[in-house]
Structure formats: structure tokens, C-alpha cells
Amino acid sequence: MEGIDPYIVFGGIGALALIVLGLFYKGKLTSFSFEKSKDTTKVELKSEGSKVTQTPQSPALLARDTIENQHVHIHGLDEDAVKKMFQEQGLNIQKLLASGPKDDQEKEILKKQLAGVEAKLSDIEKALEDHKIVLTETQEALESAELKNAVSEGQLTDALEKLEKGDSSEAEALLTQVLEDAEASAKAGAEAAYRLGKLANDRIDYRGAGDFFDRAADLAPGNSLYLNDAGFQADTLGDYDKAIEYYEKALVSDLKTFGPEYPDVAIEWNNLGAAWDSKGEYDKAIAYYEKGLASDLKTFGPEHPKVALRWNNLGEAWRAKGDYDKAIEYYEKALESDLKTFGPEHPQVAIYWNNLGAAWDSKGEYDKAIEYYEKALASDLKTSGLDHPDMARNWINLGMAWHSKGDSDKAIEYLEKGVINLRYNLGDAHPNVATGWNNLGLAWGSKGDYDKAIEYFCKAVEIWRKNLGDIHPNVATVWNNLGGAWDDKGNHDKAIKYYVR
């Protein structure tokens, strides 16, 4: 039967996430992936006074930089209002998916957006804070010299008053007006496009955000902030060549302005590494990650969270290349640095313990893997609590490591906890829940209880067919697993039926 790789990976704090699956069939390994969500790229956003690092699309995780404190002026929003906003957005995306997207690319973008909404809903407190920050930045932009003189005083006053109450509709109408008149002032038009992009991205409209960031970069081609965000959005949409083009332009601009040891230059080197990483060009990725690391070591020293992130990125690239010893070396540096900075009970430290577990798991050192996964679990339990979405990652990683060790009872114990968490946070119909059911089917099959295995495989295939269609590789995997279970039961005719499918 085909097995699911232990690296069931969810994003770091507030991150969107990716699940990476590996198929095992008679010792042969291939791999594929599908997304849970996407607040997890591995790139960094640059903005005025705040920088965010997001997590990677890979079997190991990156943490995020914290957002620097900002004075938030928005008073008309609460968690219930933001929750309702994202619930409605999620329903709209589900309707679009159900109606049948035009092509596979459109379907993938909608799935990423749905995953983004789910990530927001999983941490409403942070979603509210992020939304307030975006609205506050919009307020400040409207009052800046670039935009203030491009609109009437009455329009500006009305937009600002509504923004304070959490309503961005007037501000967006005003910014659209400025953008449409970009010929009068390219600088004002670029800033308006950029702000519209930030608002669209906050509400998880990735394609809309990408269009606005493209426009901003087109109107102000030397602005590295606009270029970097345009690259980030292209990365989010899976257009890595376009992302690389934008990041290279941002890098050229900042190298000319600031020189090679400026923090934003390190961000751009990192982002180039991330884009090449996503393309599978790991040597190129490593070269850029190393430049970012060298710059940040000079700027911040070895015991800074940014440096830990660079080491972790390098660890991930080496892991993707299959050099697990190199990966472990860099993960350990990242862990050592953040242990000194944050102590053992911090989400970023839990992420690095998880990554070390994943690397040792890849080496086949399951006892070592379990040791690190248990540390990640203990840390996340203290910082996030039992019901946090990150806990599913910990339970499932432990379950699959025990499965690899041959202890089916231990595997089932942890995998069941993971499925409970996934169902609680995502609902019964989510593809990640199907992953959990498939993993449980494998564990019960290893115990010799083929009826239980078949029960769980059937749950998995029902969800995956509804979400992914009949020709998706995940569906083929579970058909094959069902064939294997019926084969082991001695019903070869039934097995053949599933193998053929």
C-alpha cells in the first residue's frame, strides 16, 4: 500500500500552510504536494517599519518575524466582525470552486485563497490585528503628500472617518479614482495601486492583489517596496519566474541605494532564494540564501531571529537536495540561536524542533525524529494550547514516525489526535482531514485490521474526490491503498477493481 510521508506540515504563527505528501509503493518513492493554505511562502515582505517573514512550501517550516508595534487607529472592528468577513469570503470561494473554475490554474488559486481564509479563521485575534494594521496604513497613506493632494478634502474626510470605523469601501473608491487618473500623477497612482493591493491581499483576494501590485511596480519601476510586494504576490500565485524578475529589480534598486549590507538587500536575496527554491533550483536557492545570511550576520550578529531564519532557509534547501546532514547542521544553528533569544517555549523554537525531527525522519533515524517532534509538541502545547491548528502537525508527525518504527498502536494513538484537531479546525470535508483518514488507514492496515483500514480509506477517497476530482494523484493513491487492503483480505477481485481505478 502507498503511504503518506510523515511530514504533514502546517505553517508557523499565523501562516498559511502546505501539506507535503510522499507516496511509497514497494520501496519506491515519488512525491507530490497540495496546499492547505498559503500564508506560508518563504519570502519576506517589506513595509514601512514592519517586516514579515512567512513560511515555506516544503516539509519543513520557517517562522515569521514579529510585526513591529504600530499605533492602530481603528476602533470600529471586533473579532466577531472580522470572523464574519472571512466566513463570508470563504463561502464565496467555495461557491466559485463548486461552480467549476475555468482551468487548473484558476482552481489552484481559489484553493490557495480558501486555505488563506482558513488560516485567518484559525487565529481571529491575529487576523483582527493584521486587518487593523492594513487599515491604519491606508489611513496614513491617504494623509500622505502623495495622495492627500490628489483628492478633495471632503472625500478624504469621509474616507478617513469610515476607515476609523473599520469600513474601507470609501477609501478603496478614492484610491481607485486616483489610480484611474494616474496620468496626472504616476507617483500618486502607484501609491494608490499599492494600497489597493494591500487591502485586497488582506481580504485574501490574491489575484486582485497581484494585479494592483503589478500596476504599482509599473508606475514606479524604481520603488523596491512595490517591486518586492509584486514579487511576493507572484510567488503566492505560483508564478516563480515573474517573482524572480521582480525580486531582481528590487535587489538592483536597493544595492544602488544602500549597498550590500543593508537589511532590505538581505530580504531580497532571501526572496530570490525562496523563488528558486520553489522552482526546484536548490543550488541557486542556496547561493542566494547564503548571501542573505552573510549580510544579516554582519548587520545583526549570530543571535538574531533574522539570522536564525536564514539558517533555517538554508537547512530547508539542503533538505530538499537530499543532504540531510547539511540540513540538520543549519537547523541546529537556527534552533540554538532562537533558544537563546526566546527560550524553549516559543512557537519559532517549536518550528525548528519540528524541522529537525523531519530531517532525522528523512534519514530513517526515527527515535531521533520522535525526540524532536515531542519537544515541538510540548512547546506548542504550552504556547498555543490543545486545539490550535499547529497541534495537528505535531500529532501527525509523531504518528507517522511511530508508524515508520513499526509501532502501529502508538501511530494510531497520535494520528487519531491529529484527525480530531483537523476536524475541529477545518471541518469534516477538508482535504487535510482526508490525509488524516488515509494515514489512519495505513496504520490499521499495518496492524492487520484490514476492515478498519478500508473504512478509513473510504472516508479519505470520498473527501478527496469531492475536493480534487477523480483524476487527482491523491485519489489514485487511496484507490491503490484500497486495492492493497482488499488484496490483504484475500479478495483479489475487489482489489483488482480498485487497482484498475
> What is the tens place of the pLDDT at every residue in 60-80?
443 323 333 344 456 778 899
Report CA 242 to chain centroid distance, whole Å: 19
Q: Under DSSP, is residue 10 helix (H, G, I), strand (E, B) or coil?
A: coil
Q: What are phi and psi of 4, to 5 degrees?
A: -95, 130
| Alpha carbon distance 147, 201 (integer Å) | 21
pLDDT tier, 45 (very low <50, low <70, confident <90, very high otherwise):
low
pLDDT digits (tens, 9 = 90+) for 204-222: 999 999 999 999 999 999 9
Percent of the chain with pLDDT over 90: 71
| Alpha carbon distance 140, 148 (integer Å) | 10
- b/e map of 89-100 (b: 16 or more CB within 10 Å)? bbeebeebbeee
pLDDT digits (tens, 9 = 90+) for 170-194: 999 999 999 999 888 999 999 999 9
pLDDT at res. 149: 87
pLDDT at res. 198: 97
Q: Is the pTM of this model over 0.85?
A: no
Grid coordinates representing 49 are 517599519
| Alpha carbon distance 387, 410 (integer Å) | 20
Mean pLDDT, to the nearest integer, of 14-24? 29
The residue type found at 100 is G
Q: What are phi and psi of 70, to 5 degrees?
A: -130, 145
Identify which of 452, 442, 399 has the alpha carbon closest to the alpha carbon of residue 23: 442
Per DSSP bridges, beta strands 28-35 and 18-25 are: antiparallel
- The CATH class given to the 385-501 domain equals mainly alpha
* C-alpha separations of 242 from 229, 249, 279 in Å: 12, 11, 12
| Alpha carbon distance 54, 67 (integer Å) | 11
pLDDT digits (tens, 9 = 90+) for 419-470: 999 999 888 988 899 999 999 999 999 999 999 999 999 999 999 998 888 8
| Alpha carbon distance 82, 251 (integer Å) | 36
Q: Where are the beta strands (DSSP E) in 12-131?
A: 18-25, 28-35, 44-47, 50-53
| Alpha carbon distance 235, 448 (integer Å) | 44
Identify which of 84, 90, 132, 88 has the alpha carbon closest to the alpha carbon of residue 113: 90
Grid coordinates representing 315 are 537547512
pLDDT at res. 199: 97
Grid coordinates representing 440 are 489512519
Half-sphere exposure of 344 (CA within 13 A, CB side): 9
Q: Where in the chain is the domain with CATH 1.25.40.10?
A: 385-501
Percent of the chain with pLDDT over 70: 85
Mean pLDDT (the chain, rounded): 85
pLDDT tier, 34 (very low <50, low <70, confident <90, very high otherwise):
very low
